[in-house]
């Protein structure tokens, strides 16, 4: 079977999930060969991951000469590799950069290009979602080596290991490819939440938040979701542009999309219309977003979301431990236990530092040790209530003596 | 200095958009206009002109490849303030894919260069609102052998040096290049101006050139649907989403209904 080249999308050797999805799709067309353009010190970690998800081969291209320049050198490297490997297809993640590499490569190889595929069949037929998700298009490359960019979340990674045989590939980068220089680069800070384009659930906020994203973030965290925003929220400076969902932001296609205080303009829809399940909270029952939803609440998001968040946190019985003291939580849990007739199971989560400190205004340190002590404190309190013995808990972080 | 702004004529996104029986985008039977995202490119080109030491030494040329009606896109750019228009229109172009479109655009840029002596900047939108491929600018750079500084949200230039801010997937970057180069701009660069009454009147007298493929040295057999590098087998309209359940929040009932729905779908 012919090889299918998969260009690896990674940050400092950490392979991003969309690449694993591409490996799964590549198996349909041939034998997956990952193409890793990066530093020598990043190869082993990346290879391990790529092999675990089915890469039979990992071509390693040293990026020393490449990384200071935008797009063009990567297209050149792929061109040289394609000449040698004669692949059945080349798959690239549909990011801004991925598509640009694909575009340049298509011209170099005089090959057909399909962008933003959301599915790929065994015979190379792609499915695309166009016109803001209103049409589905089936297409196929008819000339040269098919170059296909695939949107994140279009396939499920397949953890069936491949050989992962490493093969160094030396490239010669022309001066012409080194003309757009990356003068400075500021890596994005990790938010502690899932990546917007990769998340199974996205909770978004718009102008209706009035600039207060706490209810959005609270619900997102209770659901383990990513946070998104409309352009109005971004233009107002409430959220960074990288959170924007829509035509000029990210396209997301999660299992669940929750739009809050978002009217549902066509440009916003373009970025979320293909979500499996759509929910909206909006105080205007005429808002166009309600035409799209599987479930909608006409109401004030500032009231609906915090109440829903609380219900979810209790219902799933994962309470944010460090947002409370052992005593207040022991009390609530005790009440719920008697109300539910002994069926209550308490789960504890640590949450993340910014939330504990900035949202709940509570201390954060040594989360593992602190959690351990938190649980011991809860038991001590409940024991006291059970047998009436005096409470004498004196720990490193918590003290309960009355 | 010569700036060429690539402007595309697209079906109006707020009206009906559909495909022809041969699965190409219907560009003639529907309402069309200058792609909204290309207005930002026109705006930035005009600002570069206005900021120049001698604005009269800067010529902004709007370039469009598209059917007869597509001249509207060029006209809109002229009304906004572009100096000249070039419209490449030829029956043979219909149904062209990215590869053919970028070829025609590149050849047209070369024609403008031959006529004017040089082209310093080729500016594009970040994506067309119909295809939304965001690939044509990179392909143009590849074909023209020029540096590509794309997805600019902030633009700075000094002499022939250009610096832009680019919001990448995992990092915010500053990209630098030396003119001549190809640039694409995002909607973060700032609102585009509306044509003024004066602008609309002035546009009527501005130079406007219509070119056929033969004028730019492209063979009709190199472009169009019949030679496309990919083939669209089928287009289907997505069935409208079936109307969901809408509830009114009264005294907290909304939250309970919401969590009830999420639980029924196993999200919690
Ligand atoms: C070229 C171009 C590209 C664009 N790209 C994008 C894009 O990528 N993404 C994008 O999102 N937009 C994009 N837009 C903008 C888009 O057209 C809309 O302007 C934008 O989506 C509106 O954002 P919004 O829904 O948050 O605000 P609005 O339209 O103002 O809606 C706010 C909503 O909040 C509701 N509301 C108010 N208060 C409350 C409350 N307390 N509780 C509940 N609901 C409340 C209101 O009823 C209203 O429906 C683009 C526009 C252009 C021209
Ligand atoms: N037919 C065309 N005529 C003029 N410019 C175009 C054309 N197609 C694409 N472009 C330019 O390329 C940019 C990106 O287009 P696309 O790659 O289709 O998303 C657009 O914003 C335009 O600036």
Instruction: Please state, as a whole number, how many other Cβ atoms lie within 10 Å of the Cβ of residue A159.
Output: 11
| pLDDT reported for residue A234 | 96
| Spatial separation of the C-alpha atoms in residues B25 and B11, rounded to whole Å | 9
Instruction: Specify the pairing of strand A10-11 against strand A57-62.
Output: unpaired
Closest-CA distance, A396 to chain B, in angstroms, reads 35
> Residue B200 — very low, low, confident or very high, per pLDDT cuts 50/70/90?
very high
Closest-CA distance, A85 to chain B, in angstroms, reads 21
Of B138, B141, B268, the CB nearest to A312: B268
Quote the Cα angle for B150-B154-B157, to 5°: 85
Task: Identify any residues that bridge with B149 across adjacent strands, giving them in sequence order.
Answer: B183
CB contact burial A197-220 (16+ within 10 A = b; e otherwise): bebebbbbbbbbbeeebbbbbbbb
For every one of its 402 residues, what pLDDT tens digit does chain A have, with 9 covering 90 and above? 799 999 999 999 999 999 999 999 999 999 999 999 999 999 999 999 999 999 999 999 999 999 999 999 999 999 999 999 999 999 999 999 999 999 999 999 999 999 999 999 999 999 998 888 888 999 999 999 999 999 999 999 999 999 999 999 999 999 999 999 999 999 988 788 999 999 999 999 999 999 999 999 999 999 999 999 999 999 999 999 999 999 999 999 999 999 999 999 999 999 999 899 999 999 999 999 999 999 999 999 999 999 999 888 766 667 788 989 999 989 888 887 776 666 666 888 888 888 888 888 999 999 999 999 999 999 999 989 888 888 999 999 999 988
The answer to whether residues B136 and B102 touch, using CB atoms and an 8 Å cutoff, is yes
CB proximity B165 to A under 8 Å = no
Task: Identify any residues that bridge with A114 across adjacent strands, giving them in sequence order.
Answer: A148
Cross-chain residue pair A103–B229, CB shorter than 8 Å: no
Closest-CA distance, A219 to chain B, in angstroms, reads 11
For residue A81, what are its two tokens?
Answer: 């590799």
Separation in Å, CA B16 to CA B26, B32, B68, B77, B237: 10, 10, 20, 24, 12
The answer to whether residues A148 and A54 touch, using CB atoms and an 8 Å cutoff, is no
The answer to whether residues A199 and A225 touch, using CB atoms and an 8 Å cutoff, is yes
Cross-chain residue pair B37–A248, CB shorter than 8 Å: yes
Question: How many Å lie between the centroid of ligand 1 and the Cα of residue A35?
Answer: 40
Q: pTM of the entire structure?
A: 0.88
Quote the Cα angle for A287-A293-A252, to 5°: 105
Q: In this structure, which ligand is nearest to the CA of B37?
A: 1
CB of residue A251 inside a 6 A radius of ligand 1:
no
Name residues 187-246 of chain B within 8 A of A (Cβ): 187-188, 228-238, 241, 243-246
Cross-chain residue pair A186–B172, CB shorter than 8 Å: yes
Instruction: Please state, as a whole number, how many other Cβ atoms lie within 10 Å of the Cβ of residue B250.
Output: 9
* Angle at which helices B71-80 and B36-51 cross, to 10°: 40
Question: How many Å lie between the centroid of ligand 2 and the Cα of residue A65?
Answer: 31
Maximal CA-CA distance, chain B: 72
CB proximity B146 to A under 8 Å = yes
Of B135, B248, B249, the CB nearest to A102: B135
| Spatial separation of the C-alpha atoms in residues B194 and A275, rounded to whole Å | 35
- Whether ipTM exceeds 0.90: yes
DSSP A146-215: -EEEE-TTSS---------EEEE------GGG--SEEEEEEEPPP-SS--TTT-SEEEEE-GGGTT--HH
Distance of alpha carbon B201 from its chain centroid, rounded?
25
Task: Report which of A250, A283, A291, A242 is spatially closest to residue A268, judged by C-alpha positions.
Answer: A250
Of B130, B138, B238, the CB nearest to A103: B138
CB proximity B153 to A under 8 Å = yes
């Amino acid at each position: 079977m012919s090889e299918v080249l998969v260009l690896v999308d990674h940050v400092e050797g950490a392979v991003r999930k969309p690449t694993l999805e591409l490996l799964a799709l590549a198996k349909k067309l041939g034998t997956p060969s990952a193409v890793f353009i990066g530093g020598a010190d990043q190869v082993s970690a990346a290879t391990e991951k790529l092999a675990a998800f089915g890469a039979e081969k990992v071509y390693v291209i040293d990026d020393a000469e490449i990384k200071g320049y935008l797009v063009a050198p990567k297209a050149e490297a792929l061109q040289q590799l394609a000449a040698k490997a004669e692949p059945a297809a080349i798959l690239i993640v549909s990011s801004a950069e991925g598509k640009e590499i694909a575009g340049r490569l298509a011209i170099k190889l005089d090959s057909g290009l399909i962008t933003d595929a959301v599915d790929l069949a065994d015979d190379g037929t792609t499915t695309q979602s166009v016109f803001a998700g209103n049409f589905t298009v089936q297409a196929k490359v008819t000339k040269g080596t098919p170059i296909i960019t695939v949107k994140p979340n279009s396939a499920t990674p397949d953890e069936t290991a491949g050989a992962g045989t490493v093969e160094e590939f030396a490239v010669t980068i022309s001066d012409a490819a080194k003309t757009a220089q990356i003068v400075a680069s500021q890596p994005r800070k990790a938010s502690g939440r899932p990546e917007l384009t990769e998340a199974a659930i996205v909770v978004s906020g718009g102008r209706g938040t009035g600039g207060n994203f706490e209810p959005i973030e609270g619900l997102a965290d209770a659901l383990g979701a990513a946070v998104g925003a409309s352009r109005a929220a971004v233009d107002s400076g409430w959220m960074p542009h990288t959170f924007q969902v829509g035509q000029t932001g990210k396209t997301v296609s999660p299992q669940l999309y929750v739009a809050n205080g978002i009217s549902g303009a066509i440009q916003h829809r373009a970025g979320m219309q293909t979500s499996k399940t759509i929910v909206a909270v909006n105080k205007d029952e005429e808002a166009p977003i309600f035409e799209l939803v599987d479930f909608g609440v006409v109401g004030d998001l500032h009231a609906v979301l915090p109440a829903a968040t609380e219900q979810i946190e209790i219902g799933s019985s994962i309470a944010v431990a460090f947002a409370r003291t052992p005593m207040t939580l022991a009390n609530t849990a005790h009440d719920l236990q008697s109300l539910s007739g002994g069926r209550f199971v308490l789960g504890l989560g640590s949450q993340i530092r910014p939330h504990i400190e900035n949202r709940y205004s509570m201390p954060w340190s040594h989360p593992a040790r602190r959690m351990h002590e938190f649980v011991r404190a809860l038991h001590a309190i409940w024991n006291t209530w059970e047998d009436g013995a005096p409470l004498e808990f004196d720990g490193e972080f918590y003290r309960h003596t009355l | 200095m010569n700036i060429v702004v690539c402007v595309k004529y697209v079906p109006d996104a707020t009206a009906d958009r559909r495909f022809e029986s041969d699965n190409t985008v219907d560009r003639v039977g529907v309402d069309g206009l200058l792609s909204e995202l290309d207005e930002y490119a026109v705006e930035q080109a005009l600002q570069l002109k206005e900021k120049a030491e001698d604005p009269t030494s800067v010529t902004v040329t709007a370039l469009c490849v598209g059917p007869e009606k597509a001249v509207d896109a060029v006209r809109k750019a002229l009304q906004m303030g572009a100096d000249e228009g070039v419209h490449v229109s030829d029956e043979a172009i219909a149904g062209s894919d990215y590869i053919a479109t970028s070829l025609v655009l590149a050849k047209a840029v070369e024609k403008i260069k031959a006529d004017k002596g040089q082209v310093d900047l080729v500016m594009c939108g970040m994506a067309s609102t119909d295809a939304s491929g965001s690939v044509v600018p990179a392909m143009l750079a590849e074909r023209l052998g020029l540096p590509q500084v794309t997805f600019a949200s902030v633009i700075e230039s000094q002499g022939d040096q250009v610096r832009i801010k680019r919001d990448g997937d995992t990092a915010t970057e500053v990209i630098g290049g030396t003119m001549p180069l190809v640039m694409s701009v995002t909607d973060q660069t700032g609102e585009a101006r509306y044509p003024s009454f004066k602008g609309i009147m002035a546009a009527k007298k501005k130079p406007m050139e219509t070119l056929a493929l033969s004028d730019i040295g492209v063979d009709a057999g190199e472009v169009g649907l019949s030679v496309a590098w990919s083939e669209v087998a089928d287009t289907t309209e997505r069935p409208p989403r079936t109307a969901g359940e809408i509830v009114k929040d009264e005294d907290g009932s909304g939250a309970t209904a919401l969590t009830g729905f999420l639980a029924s779908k196993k999200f919690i």
